[in-house]
């Protein structure tokens, strides 16, 4: 039995992982799908002070409360920033990392620095609040505005990822425009320390490639 902690991307909550979490539990694994502060059922906590550090602390709090060890951390999209920060601060609790069409930052990187101009234009469409990025029109109706500060803040990393047993990266091949994750994919696909998967999918991997994602996670737990 493995323990998975699944972190969703911008504007999404733990609900996004529900079908995958159900299937992993059928295989006997423990699964946690925390919703980050200001999102989903925690949207009432959204404020201009919620940033990347807040979201990293959200996950570290789950680790502490549930006494988690040898965790497989999974991050989709923006969730890759959170996963990287958590792994850096609590390496003793992490066994493996899986990035699902996600950012894999170095120290000092931010979503703003790593993404495309198209995505930056979206970030700056902060609507009425001035500090929250609205969900895109094609998102699930449960999507909620995302705290801008978390996309702008630079991550602080003090170690690389080489200490972890396994690192997987799943890249979606069917972005309708330029993928903000293409530079990450190109960097990792030639790195022998990473297992890179190329999926015939748009960015919503759980909608377009659920079986492939499940297999990646089960292999990571093997």
Active site residues: 77
In the block, residue with structure tokens 């994750």? 181
Number of other residues whose CB lies within 10 A of the CB of residue 222: 7
DSSP 23: H
Number of other residues whose CB lies within 10 A of the CB of residue 168: 20
Distances (CA, A) of 73 to 43, 59, 80, 115, 185: 23, 10, 9, 22, 19
Q: What are phi and psi of 151, to 5 degrees?
A: -85, -20
Spatial distance between the Cα atoms of 115 and 178, rounded to a whole number of angstroms: 10
Spatial distance between the Cα atoms of 210 and 198, rounded to a whole number of angstroms: 13
Of 20, 1, 70, 13, whose CA–CA distance to 213 is shortest?
A: 20
Of 1, 55, 60, 59, whose CA–CA distance to 33 is shortest?
A: 59
């Amino acid at each position: 039995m493995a323990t998975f902690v699944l972190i969703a991307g911008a504007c999404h909550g733990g609900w996004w992982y529900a079908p995958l979490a159900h299937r992993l539990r059928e295989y006997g694994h423990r699964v946690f799908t925390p919703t980050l502060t200001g999102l989903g059922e925690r949207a009432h906590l959204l404020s201009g002070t919620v940033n990347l550090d807040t979201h990293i602390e959200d996950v570290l709090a789950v680790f502490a409360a549930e006494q988690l060890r040898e965790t497989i951390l999974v991050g989709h999209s923006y969730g890759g920033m959170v996963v990287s920060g958590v792994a850096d601060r609590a390496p003793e609790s992490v066994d493996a990392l899986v990035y699902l069409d996600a950012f894999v930052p170095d120290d000092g990187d931010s979503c703003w620095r790593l993404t495309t101009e198209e995505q930056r234009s979206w970030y700056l469409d902060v609507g009425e609040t001035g500090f929250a990025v609205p969900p895109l029109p094609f998102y699930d109706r449960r999507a909620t505005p995302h705290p801008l500060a978390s996309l702008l803040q630079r991550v602080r990393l003090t170690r690389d990822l080489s200490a972890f047993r396994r690192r997987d990266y799943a890249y979606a091949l069917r972005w309708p425009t330029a993928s903000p994750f293409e530079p990450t994919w190109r960097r990792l696909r030639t790195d022998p320390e990473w297992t890179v998967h190329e999926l015939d999918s748009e960015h919503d991997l759980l909608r377009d490639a659920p079986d492939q994602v499940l297999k990646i996670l089960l292999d990571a737990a093997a």
